[in-house]
Amino acid sequence: MSYARIAVFVSGGGTNLQALLDAQKSGILNKGKVELVISDREGCYALERAEKSGIKSFCFIKKQIGQSLFEQKLNEMLKVNNIDFIILAGFLSILSAEFTKAWDMKIINVHPSLIPSFCGDGYYGLKVHSAALERGVKISGATVHYVNGDVDGGPIIFQKVVPVYKKDTPETLQIRIMKKAEWVLLPKAAQQLSQKIVKQKEKSNEK
Ligand code: GRF
């Protein structure tokens, strides 16, 4: 049975990667399979999660090799592993317009707010939630979207609302959004794109 081959780019704890791996086990993600994990941060726990699940993983440090060699390495790994699409899961490196154009509508990102609020340059990790709490929002949530040349700017795929409580800190809000929104939406979006790619593969095999 054909399936979509997925690469996940990570930088941190890898809880979104774990949500994808758990979704494969539970059958929520049954048309796609994480075949490759690439990190831009040495020793991040996401790499340990990949290793524990027996998934091929690599680490390329953009600061050390520069943007163009970094993306050349990414593309080499994606090609060698026949990857169909990419998921950015807590990935902090910005990809060039050239790279995202080459993977147009084949890169998915999860952002911990309801885009277009609290997104774009400088809005990542806890900073997103601090800004939301400072603004006094009553709801927040997560967005899964396609990646294009603009930071957090591509077409929105799914969004999920999460309540904000008076006593919330950036940390309590972050974990609620991860649990109730990010870890739900990302596998759903991965399955949806996987189904589309499997259909395309089956059609091209029929020809
Ligand atoms: C989370 O805040 C997530 O919203 C954002 O990156 C952070 C770390 O994610 N996308 P992970 O635990 O490394 O998946």
Ligand 1 site, residue 13, Cβ cutoff 6 A: yes
Ligand 1 atom at minimum distance from 110 CA: 10
**Measured in angstroms, how far is the CA atom of residue 204 from the centroid of ligand 1?**
36
**Measured in angstroms, how far is the CA atom of residue 31 from the centroid of ligand 1?**
24
Find all residues with CB under 8 Å of 63, minimum gap 6, and list them. Answer: none
- With 90 as the cut, is the pLDDT of residue 207 above it? no
- In the block, which residue shows the tokens 């040495």? 42
| Active site (annotated) includes residue 129 | no
- With 80 as the cut, is the pLDDT of residue 172 above it? yes
Buried b (16+ CB within 10 A) or exposed e, 78-100: beebebbbbbbbbbbbebeeebb
The catalytic position among 31, 41, 49, 111 is 111
pTM of the model: 0.96
Q: Which letter does DSSP use for residue 180 in this model?
A: I
Give the pLDDT confidence score for residue 204 in this predicted structure: 87
- How many CB atoms within 10 Å of residue 1? 5
pLDDT bin (cut points 50, 70, 90) of residue 108 is very high
**Measured in angstroms, how far is the CA atom of residue 131 from the centroid of ligand 1?**
16
Find all residues with CB under 8 Å of 26, minimum gap 6, and list them. Answer: none
- With 90 as the cut, is the pLDDT of residue 152 above it? no
